[in-house]
Amino acid sequence: MKLWLFGIYGIVGSTAIVGERAIRKGLSDTTGLVSELPEFEKLKDYAPLEFEFGGHDIRSLDKNLYQIVEEHWELNQHFDYRILLKLKEDLEKIRAKKGTALNCGEGVLEELKPLQTLEEEGLTLSQIVERLEKDLLEFADNETVAINVASTEPTLPYDEEVHGSLEGFERAIKENRKDKISASMLYAYVSLKNGIPFANFTPSVGSDIAALKELALKVGVPHAGNDGKTGETLVKTTLAPMFRYRNLRVLGWMGYNILGDLDGKVLAHEQNKRSKIVSKDKVVGKILGYFPYTITEINYFPPLQDNKTAFDFIHYQGFLGTKMKFYFIWDAIDAIVAAPLVLDIARFLMLAKKKGQKGVVKELAFFFKSPMETEEYNTHRQYEILKEWFQSLVS
């Protein structure tokens, strides 16, 4: 298989590559990979855990992936350095192609400097699409998946004329309507247009507009998203069902997240943060069937680097109207919990493609905070749906 990563030089994309290479060379086991659980053993017959990698990025294009991972490691020390040394030759062969930061917001523009983007060359939207397609098609074959792991974008205002139909979207590209289209939309567009399954691991729009859903159905290609469910929200969507099952009324749920690294810098900007907060905040009410008072905060805390910490406080009411409290702390290296899911999603999307599925694969909701075309946010139920879907395809 081949995997094209939009945002390949970020810590999530680069850690996914390190992990895959380490497993193949016997330097690590498959802990953290959902797709390697016994329930999904037959997946190896359709999508083995062996990838060739390529991708787009908008920074440090003069460096190879080994140099990028070394920089991430110096800040985070997020795995055994001996693994990196043993992978040096492999990683040095991987280099990013120049991507786009179109409508990526102040966070990206300020914190990823110096940027190297296609729009800075003065290209029109049509020319940007051509360049992205050229890079992708030079790499891709019939067993390629593309995943967006780039920084979070602000949400563009919905425009029915542009986003509501494929015809309108492609007309906007031809007319160079740069105010209406974002980088994640372009990444999804070039992938789906060329029959490459696409997943959006970020809270950005990606393929979650009518125009691109229409394209996926027209071409006959599967896609999924949005926003990988890796940390605090994973706990929320696992814990919230407990209150519902026991008929305990949640009065309020406060989640306070702190993180450093580039992700934290970008999310320190209100434009970029907003879509992330919406993605994290709505899941509790969706599961409970009512919406308690909620506070969701994300703040940049430089000393943590990629170590993301969440403090959650839940106020709930039980028998005889008695009010009680529940607290938890989630502390994890963000890239370590996120990277294996990138590999999982790629493998399941390849299975979907080989089985002739097209459009949104809502059965992959288990992997996302804001899954498309489903109202099921309960992690327990999502996992059962994933298993049932898998068995229906491979049995």
Do 205 and 67 share a structural domain?
yes
The CATH number of the domain holding residue 249 is 3.30.360.10
Do 167 and 37 share a structural domain?
yes
Do 301 and 355 share a structural domain?
no
**Residues near 112 by Cβ (< 8 Å), separated by ≥ 6?**
58, 59, 101, 151, 262, 266
Do 251 and 206 share a structural domain?
no
Rounded Cα gap, residues 180 and 161, in angstroms? 10
The pTM score is 0.94
Domain end point (choices 333, 353, 382) = 333
Do 207 and 172 share a structural domain?
yes
- Looking at residue 273, what is its pLDDT? 61
Do 223 and 106 share a structural domain?
yes
Do 240 and 173 share a structural domain?
no
The CATH number of the domain holding residue 84 is 3.40.50.720
Do 282 and 168 share a structural domain?
no
Do 47 and 154 share a structural domain?
yes
- Looking at residue 112, what is its pLDDT? 77
**Residues near 369 by Cβ (< 8 Å), separated by ≥ 6?**
203, 226, 227, 228, 229, 233, 279, 280, 283
What crossing angle do the helices spanning 334-354 and 11-24 adopt, rounded to 10°? Answer: 70
Furthest C-alpha separation in the chain: 67
Domain end point (choices 313, 333, 353) = 333
Do 203 and 62 share a structural domain?
yes
Which of helix, strand or coil describes residue 6? strand
Range of the domain at 41: 2-228+336-394
Looking at the structure of the chain, the number of domains it has is 2
Distances, alpha carbon 80 to alpha carbons 52, 67, 76, 178, 303, in Å: 23, 16, 11, 43, 20
pLDDT profile of the chain (395 residues), mean per 10? 98 98 98 98 98 97 97 95 98 98 85 87 97 98 98 92 98 97 98 98 97 98 96 94 97 93 74 67 90 92 89 98 97 95 98 98 97 96 98 97
**Comparing C-alpha atoms, which of 346, 377, 389 is closest to residue 229?**
377
- Looking at residue 275, what is its pLDDT? 64
Do 132 and 50 share a structural domain?
yes
Do 284 and 390 share a structural domain?
no
Half-sphere exposure of 106 (CA within 13 A, CB side): 6
